[in-house]
Chain A
Amino acid sequence: MTSSPQTISLGFTNQAFPPGVHICQIFSSDDERQESLLKFILSGLQSKERTCCFSDNATEQAICEFLGNYGISHNDAIDTGALTLAGTRDIYFEDNRFDPERMLNLLTCYYNDSVTHGYPAARVIGEMATEIQHVCGGNRLLEYESKISILLRDHPVTAVCQYDARSFDGAMIMDVLKVHPLMIVRGSVIHNPFYIKPEELLTQ
């Protein structure tokens, strides 16, 4: 990786953050989800960052059209490896089970690979699917999110985790918030007052 930028733009807010932040976005409409996702991808590609998106709800065509409006070729980005698009279920639930270790390993590899290919930074936006509540290993979600926070300290991939408020119970949403140091409230990224440090949570 070339020298890492001191701050990065998330695209959907004017605020600047150091690479490797772990942000939770709880959205309640498709437009809200789509806007954050597209702007996050655009911002990453414009900054030459390696960008990855796991979503079952953002179509490749929509992403292609959006990027095209800003003069970015979606095909080129895919071909060069600057952009990776994948479905949530395909990535998270291999063999119909959720394996936090596998996911953490993937994220580690993604970061290392980005470094190898000289990207200035790497970013990931992923929407968690509701099936997490039912698949084998799904009960380790909070553990997984906490471990990501730890992993990002050494592998500073900027990560935005999207959760659909319409699909998850309120208590679950609160639990998810507690494992993200940053959260988006009314379009602004704020420090999460509910945040429980991973070491503390993992001890619990």
Chain B
Amino acid sequence: MLIPEILGQLLVMQSFVINLPDEKSIFSFVCRGLLDIPGVSGVRYHETTQNQGFDTAELAIPVILGEIFMGELLFTVDDKELFVPYLDYLKNFCYMLAVILEERNQRSQNEQLQLKLEARVQQRTSQLNAEIIERKQIDEVQSYLLQISSVNPGEGFFKTLASYLAKTLGMDYVCIDTLHGDGLTARTLAIYHDGKFEANVEYALKDTPCGDVVGKKVCVFPRGVCSLFPHDAALQELEAESYLGTTLWSFDMKPIGLIAVIGQKELLDSHFAESVMKLASIRAAGELERRQAYEDKLLFEQQFQQTQKLESLGVLAGGIAHDFNNILAIIMGYCSLTKMDYEKAEKNIPEIEKAVERAAVLCRQMLAYAGKAMLTKSQVNTWALVDEMVGMLETTIHKNVVIKTELDTDIPLITGDASQLRQVVLNLIMNSAEAIGDADGEVAVKLATTEIIVAQQEKDHLGFFIPAGRYICLEVTDNGCGMDDGTRRKIFEPFYTTKFTGRGLGMSAVLGIIKAHKGLLQLESRLGQGTTFKVFLPVQ
């Protein structure tokens, strides 16, 4: 005999259990509700089978969906007759429960998957955000490094970089080193500690973390660096906790230096610090190489100048020896003739005097080159002097060469040796005329007063700046053969000549005389296009 209300309860329970949050709650609810079934005195749920049958006091109805066994409802039946009519309904009810539970399990799994997915998305988003922030910071570091490279060359660069790294990475000590002694020692280029720079030192890399860095891209000890390098006194003194070092590589990938940052606290974000250090090491290595290249160039130039000086001295000594030897040979020759025939000795004396005079001229030219010639100073009218010399030379130089003049008449007097200044004008014009050779050509001679207002406005033939001031400027230009670089470098050296008959003392004497008058000289020449000499004589 079925009671309709009981069947209604089963239906309502099926619909209602969906509202309940979990399996425990569902079966707690169901077991209480099923107690209303006639003949039943107890209901409980078991997740494993109890293998109960009709013969026992408890009847088990499995909650099963296909092959998925979820548990079973165990009914304590007091009156089988009353209970049995509901058995099929209860089996169906348990099947429905199984469906609901399975659906709930699936939903729960989906929710868990979704939660996991959301967690992963959130984690990845956080990572991406962190990466974006770090990328931005790295970009800022990169911009800064570019800026200090161009603004602070040399040692200033390394100091600026050291202080910047300390601030950016929050570290207490930064040193930038260059390697020496086959990489066994390092010499600091900048040491930044406790907000100030310390004096540079040289130290052995053995037993230091810096020794571990050399040859590696990055070397990190995020914590406990002191205990790892107990023999490093500097680390112990600093009470260092963390260390990060990076090698400076040359263009051909040889270790040339290192950067080390040391902290008194644990290094938490080593990834960012490593990125910054890698960038800094590239910049520092470039700067170090540039600096070393500059030092090498200076050394090479010094060596080159020394070689040139020795070479010049050799030429000078050889030239003097040769000329004097010739003169002495003449004197010796006439002396021998005199010994052989004293009666005719008188006619030899003028020849000996000529030779002595030649030797005296040679000495004067040497003194003039050295700027040590005795100056017979007077107030010199350079316009008159140049005009006179041009007039004289026009009659002596080859007819194919025309001398054109542009001489200011309003030229202030200067204090100088007129005869020596005449020699300057003579030598420059003769040199220019000879550079023209057999072809038609022109020598332009200009004389003017000029004012160099700003220092570093003009350079002399050696590349030194001409001091600001008022000068008389004598300019001699030809359109002759011009000079190559080698000739231009040596033209003022004594005994250097490109002419078959020349002694190579003219231009060196010109330079010596100009120096003696505290003047300067400019030279512009291009092979095949001509040459310009400019003489600057200071107006007192």
Interface positions of A (Cβ within 8 A of B)? 26-28, 165-166, 169-171, 173-175, 183, 185-186, 190, 192-194
Contacts and interface: CB of A to CB of B under 8 A. Distances in A.
Given A165-B25, A170-B24, A193-B5, 15 more contacts: A28-B20, A28-B21, A166-B21, A169-B25, A170-B20, A170-B25, A170-B26, A170-B27, A170-B28, A171-B31, A173-B25, A173-B29, A174-B29, A185-B15, A190-B12
Contacts of B19: 26-28, 165
Interface string B1-45: 000010011011001101111001111111111001000000000
Most buried by B among A28, A166, A171, A175: A171
B33 to A, nearest CB: 5
Interface of B: 5, 8-9, 11-12, 15-16, 18-21, 24-33, 36
Leading 3 A-B pairs by shortest Cβ distance: A170-B29, A170-B28, A193-B8
A194 B25 contact: no
A194 B26 CA distance: 16
28 contacts: A27-B19, A28-B19, A28-B20, A28-B21, A165-B19, A165-B20, A165-B25, A169-B25, A169-B28, A170-B20, A170-B25, A170-B27, A170-B30, A170-B31, A170-B32, A171-B28, A171-B31, A173-B20, A173-B29, A174-B33, A183-B16, A185-B15, A186-B18, A190-B12, A193-B9, A193-B11, A194-B9, A194-B36
Given A28-B19, A165-B19, A171 B29 contact: yes
Nearest to B25: A170
Contacts of A186: 15, 18
A194 B20 contact: no
A194 B12 contact: yes
Contacts of B5: 193
B73 to A, nearest CB: 13
Contacts of A174: 28-29, 32-33
A166 B9 CA distance: 22
A145 to B, nearest CB: 16
B10 to A, nearest CB: 9
Nearest to B14: A185
Contacts of A194: 9, 12, 33, 36
A7 B234 CA distance: 92
Nearest to B36: A194
B41 to A, nearest CB: 16
A173 B29 CA distance: 7
A73 to B, nearest CB: 35
A171 B13 CA distance: 12
A134 to B, nearest CB: 18
A183 B15 CA distance: 12
Contacts of B18: 186
Nearest to A32: B19
B250 to A, nearest CB: 68
A170 B5 CA distance: 20
A143 to B, nearest CB: 18
Most buried by A among B12, B27, B30: B12
